[in-house]
Structure 1
Amino acid sequence: MSHNLSLAQDHAFDLALTLMVPVVLFQVDGAFGVMVSSEYDGEQDAIVHEYDPWSPAP
């Protein structure tokens, strides 16, 4: 499972940088998804991380 999470995180970060908009990485029923943050209307508990290309990395 950690390989899937790592892959999803990499793709989410790349998408945020490509689109230059914040994206949210979420998990539902064991599957990961990525969506533009402003369009996400799912459960807040499903959010794994939000990637904002305008904020410096921690």
Structure 2
Amino acid sequence: MATNLTLANRYAHSLAQSLMVAVIVFRSEAGYAVLPADEFEGDQADVVTEFDPHEG
């Protein structure tokens, strides 16, 4: 978990580009976390950012 949103966004962007899958940054009680979008089962209101390498 990251407590810095900028760091979490950078990690998510890099991960999306490396794996070529959509990833999301979401907020949890412990901070920010990054998961592949298809594995996220939480509340959509917790999603902060989504990175999709296949979109413009």
TM-score (norm 1): 0.86
Name structure 2 gaps, 5 residues minimum.
Answer: none
Identity %: 37
Is 1:47 matched up with 2:53?
Answer: no
Cα distance between partner residues in 1 of 2:48 and 2:55: 17
The aligned runs of 1:28-43 (5 Å cut-off) are 28-43=28-43
RMSD between superposed Cα atoms in Å: 1.3
Cα distance between partner residues in 1 of 2:30 and 2:49: 15
TM-score (norm 2): 0.89
1:20 matched residue in structure 2: 20
Name structure 1 gaps, 5 residues minimum.
Answer: none
Moved over 3 A (4+): none
